[in-house]
Amino acid sequence: MSWLPVAVLALMLFGMTLRVAPYEAVLEIGLVALLLVATGLATPWRWPMISAACLFLTNHALALWGTDAPVDIVGAAVFGVALLFLLQLSDLGRGMRRASVGAGVTRSLLARLLVFAVMTLIATTAGMAIARPLSAAVPAVLAPLLATAGALGVVTALALAATGAGRRARAGPSP
Amino acid sequence: MTWRVTPLALSLVTLAGVILSLAVLTARADLFMAAVPLALALGTLAVRAPAPDYAVSYAISSDRLWEGDTVTVTVEVTARSAIPFMELLEPLAAGGAQVSGRPRAVMALRAGQTERWRYDITYPVRGVHDLGTLIVRVRDRWGLCSWERRHVERRRVRVHPRPTPLRSLPRPRRTQTSVGDYVAPVYGEGLEPGDIRQFAPGDRVRQVNWRASLRLGTLYVTQQHRERNADVVLMVDTLAQVGTASTTTLDASVRATSSLATAYLARKDRVGLIVYGGLIDWVRPGSGRPHHERLADALLRADVVFTYVAKDLKLVPPRVLPSHAFVIAVTPLLDRRFTQAVLDLVARGFDLAVLVVSPVELLRAALSAAPVDQLACRLWTLERRARLAEIRRHGLPVVEWNPAQSLEAAVTGLDRRRYRAMAAR
């Protein structure tokens, strides 16, 4: 039954985008993404699930941009959490396939996901509280530049965190 | 223990990059927020979590099995620190098949908690199998990094050929000095009555044959035959084999040898073994349960080792092949060197019988029903029949055994052939 939460999350992502822009193009892209999720669940490959996540995301971004929908911070955070859980659960599901699953696995997993969702909500609210007064201080001309630089900085920092951790592990003594 | 970033973490980095690029391109502030959960999860990588602390113990229900038996593997994991997600995998070597349980296990443990993983493996064919190599992978709570370790706690499982119970066995012509089940021609203490003779000082009163004594007017005693054991040497041909991977003539020979050894040991005989092939291996005649295990271990090692070197039985020490021993050769008769060795033993005056494992039937079962294959099998059968007749002309009792049929019937036939050969001599 490890496929069930993944399927629910995929449908949720599909539904959220369709709610923003109920157009045929959005529906078609969403259906392709769902097909990729189904492929990812049926096969041991990782790439269909990552492609589906990218497709859901692009579809959602295009839907928001095309309809010029009002900014929904909580909705965006929920979308991000759903994307993250989709990838995490599909990865764990792959690990649990044809395996004898211990009694505490599902319980501890649910508890962790719940804690993470709450943490994200708190972080998003805190982020918004800080961003609101700061945005008033930034000149409108510099805003796109700052956004681009911030995005680049975050991606670089995340990539460094991932690769640097690996390098440290290779260099350091084994525990 | 190897620490590494999982592919999931790299996927999340990619996805975060895509989200932020889309957010900049579409100038949507809410898309930035969609990247927050991913950034939060990936941020945990910056702080390296301590390695998980746990202990793994590996146990098997038995280290000696018969063919087709099942061994239960129990893996016990005790966590000293909390383990959010642990994967266990034991790669199974060829020869074994999992019959119950799963090939992998996933568990989540709190600190101090113990969890067990059980599964059963069956081994259909004899052999020595190594177990106890586990691959343990522990993931952190978000699945972004993992610690991998190969846990080796080697356990060796010996799968012995399953012996067929045999009620009638070829009877050795010569007996030894120890007590056994065979009635010896010599007189002494025993149960089987023999000749009668006049009473002599030292004879016991209970040996007096009162009927003969009254009739003849003087005391007569009944003599008894002694019951003695015999030395039986089983000689297995490992020069060549045919058949499919699961059933070869060597497997059938080893099964037959194991059955014969078990049956003779149950009769208190001393049983020895010569594995005659590319490498000559032997076990001195002996009796008892430890000796049975010694024979079983030697039979496990029996394998075809290719060589052009003609082996000579002169290499075998006389203690392994005593002059009064009854030798039973088990062979598919595929290599002429074995026939030569058997004829050499006959020339040296050994009491000998040959059980020929039929390779034709084994191969026929593996082949298709194509007329050419069947014709080839028939021709081979004729050729082998001619060869067996040639060996019988040397006065050797030979019986062919089809492994698909009863060994008992073949063994009974072997005894009949021996008496016929003796009468002909």
Write out pLDDT tens, residues B361-375: 888 877 878 888 889
Same-domain check for residues B30 and B70? no
Tell me whether residue B7 is in a domain: no
Number of Cβ atoms within 10 Å of the Cβ of B305? 10
Burial of B224 (0-12, 13-18, 19+ CB in 10 A): middle
The total domain count for chain B is 4
B165 touches chain A (CB under 8 A): no
- How far CA B152 is from CA of B58, B92, B98, B128, B301, in Å, comes to 9, 14, 20, 17, 24
Tell me whether residue B1 is in a domain: no
Same-domain check for residues B294 and B145? no
Using CB atoms, pick whichever of A73, A105, A162 lies closest to residue B42. A162
Q: How confident is the model at residue A135 (pLDDT cuts 50, 70, 90)?
A: confident
The reply to whether residue B13 touches residue A155, judged by beta carbons under 8 angstroms, is yes
ipTM of this complex prediction, to 2 decimal places: 0.84
The domain ranges of chain A are 3-137, 138-175
- How far CA B301 is from CA of A6, A121, B93, B242, B332, in Å, comes to 52, 66, 18, 18, 18
Same-domain check for residues B352 and B258? yes
Tell me whether residue B165 is in a domain: no
Q: Which domain holds residue B85?
A: 54-160
Span B103-119, pLDDT tens digits: 789 988 888 889 999 99
Name the minimum distance, in Å, from the CA of A59 to any CA of chain B.
10
> Strands, DSSP E only, in A62-157?
99-101
Does position A140 have pLDDT exceeding 90, yes or no?
no
- How far CA A61 is from CA of A71, B16, B208, in Å, comes to 12, 13, 116
The reply to whether residue B84 touches residue A64, judged by beta carbons under 8 angstroms, is no
Of chain B, the percentage scoring pLDDT greater than 90 comes to 26
Name the minimum distance, in Å, from the CA of A1 to any CA of chain B.
15
Query: For A122-126, A132-136, A167-171, which range has the lowest pLDDT when averaged over its residues?
Result: A167-171
β-pair partners for B134? B151
A38 touches chain B (CB under 8 A): no
Helix (H, G, I), strand (E, B) or coil at A54: helix
When scoring A57, A85, A158 by the number of chain B Cβ atoms within 10 A, the one with the most, hence best to mutate, is A158
Name the minimum distance, in Å, from the CA of B104 to any CA of chain A.
4
β-pair partners for B225? B187
Q: How many whole angstroms separate alpha carbon A42 and alpha carbon B283?
A: 56
What's the CATH code of the domain at B156?
2.60.40.10
Tell me whether residue B166 is in a domain: no
B38 touches chain A (CB under 8 A): yes
Name the minimum distance, in Å, from the CA of A64 to any CA of chain B.
8
B22 contacts in chain A (CB < 8 Å): 57-58, 61
Of B192, B207, B228, the residue at which a domain comes to its end is B228
Same-domain check for residues B65 and B213? no
Q: Which of B217, B176, B224, B221 is nearest to B324 (CA)?
A: B176
Do residues B372 and B227 make contact, with C-beta atoms less than 8 angstroms apart? no
Same-domain check for residues B210 and B79? no
Q: How many whole angstroms separate alpha carbon B174 and alpha carbon B147?
A: 68
Helix%, strand%, coil% for chain A, nearest 5 = 85, 0, 15
Span B146-205, pLDDT tens digits: 899 999 988 899 999 888 888 888 888 877 777 777 777 777 777 888 889 999 998 888
Residue of chain A nearest B141, judged by CA positions: A112
Backbone angles phi, psi at A14, to 5 degrees: -60, -45
Tell me whether residue B2 is in a domain: no
